[in-house]
Homo-oligomer: A and B are copies of this chain.
Amino acid sequence: MTSHDVQAAPLAVGLGESLLRLSAPGHERLTQIRHLDVHVGGAEMNGLIGLAALGFRCRWLTRLPDNPLGRRIAGHAAEHGVEPAVDWDADARTPLYFVEHGAPPRPSEVLYDRSSTAMTRLTASTFPWVEEVHGAMVALSTGITCALGPEPAQAVSGFLAAAREAGAHTVFDVNHRARLWTWEQAVPVLRRVLPKVEVLFTSRHDLLRLVVGATAAEDTVELARQAIKEWGHRVVVLRDNAQSAPGRVTVTMTALTAEEVLTSGAHEAQVVDAFGAGDAALAAFIATWLTGGGLAGALEASAWACAFQHTVVGDAWQVRAADLEGRGQAWRILR
């Protein structure tokens, strides 16, 4: 693909924060660390990376500290085909999190260290939304960005509103992070965002909190339908990852529209690194659906992508369209 072909590709724009993930190597414990593995992740950027691999032109709006760690994050996006549009901050902290990979019955541990980061200073006027979403086919953000503070939440609203206005498909993943905000804090904020969302990635657990008057007695389909009715989503997508054996996960996904309920096949994976799996599911769904793969095809691709991403070291889901089609082989001789 030359630079000129690139210009012809559909544009996806995302808004969100990415962090340095510092992991104890292998199954070592954080109390033992002499070395750390460094990865970069962030829901929106991860989703854009997946879209870029499937042929989208992607731009990622973010704020980063103007230091080598901030540049490390921006370089990661660029390396994976996503153009970082960064509002650099001379003083802010780099968002970090520390990870210990468990093994049953030892839990994996995550220690966030993301206070006072550049993205917490995002405001509704950091980026000229109308200009940034111009020509976009997709606009993507998540509840994590909303959780960074009232100003960032307002920015997400502004971004999605501008996108919808410009005719883009708006995509939102609820992604509740209990360490960032409580459900009490989250619900009113998210309810203001949801009317701007065309494709919603969420879970039964989220819907019980978000849908007005929801009760545990209602089944998931009913809850999703209420969300559709209330906020006008075109599709609601629910992911389910269950541990099928120590070291293995089985992924099944469900998509609901006002008329349809579709469930994917079950895809089992050997867990190498679980991070980024939900974002891979989102990217595969959006890319397949928007390029004419149909809802069922998009859902199946999405569940497979989610399983696949559990086997990949790091958050970046880099699968090409041909891989998506040829899934199922155990060996691939490239040449």
Contacts and interface: CB of A to CB of B under 8 A. Distances in A.
Interface of A: 1-4, 6, 22, 26-38, 59, 67-69, 71-72, 75-76, 78-81, 83, 85-88, 91, 93-94, 96, 98, 100, 102-113, 115-116, 127-128, 131-132, 178-179, 243, 246-248, 267-270, 272, 304, 307-308, 311-314, 318, 327-335
Copies in the complex: 6
A94 B113 contact: yes
A29 B19 CA distance: 18
Given A115-B93, A307-B105, A313 B246 contact: no
A183 B94 CA distance: 27
Given A28-B313, A269-B105, A80 B72 contact: no
Contact of A104 (B59, B96, B243, B311): B311
A330 B243 contact: yes
A24 to B, nearest CB: 9
Contacts of A93: 113, 115
A333 B30 contact: no
Nearest to A267: B105
A105 B178 CA distance: 31
A88 B96 CA distance: 22
27 contacts: A3-B59, A4-B128, A26-B272, A27-B272, A27-B311, A30-B72, A31-B68, A32-B314, A34-B38, A35-B35, A68-B100, A69-B111, A78-B81, A79-B79, A103-B272, A104-B330, A105-B267, A105-B269, A105-B308, A105-B327, A107-B330, A107-B331, A109-B332, A112-B333, A113-B335, A246-B268, A246-B269
B105 A311 contact: yes
A30 B6 CA distance: 23
B102 A330 contact: yes
Given A29-B318, A30-B69, A318-B31, A107 B332 contact: yes
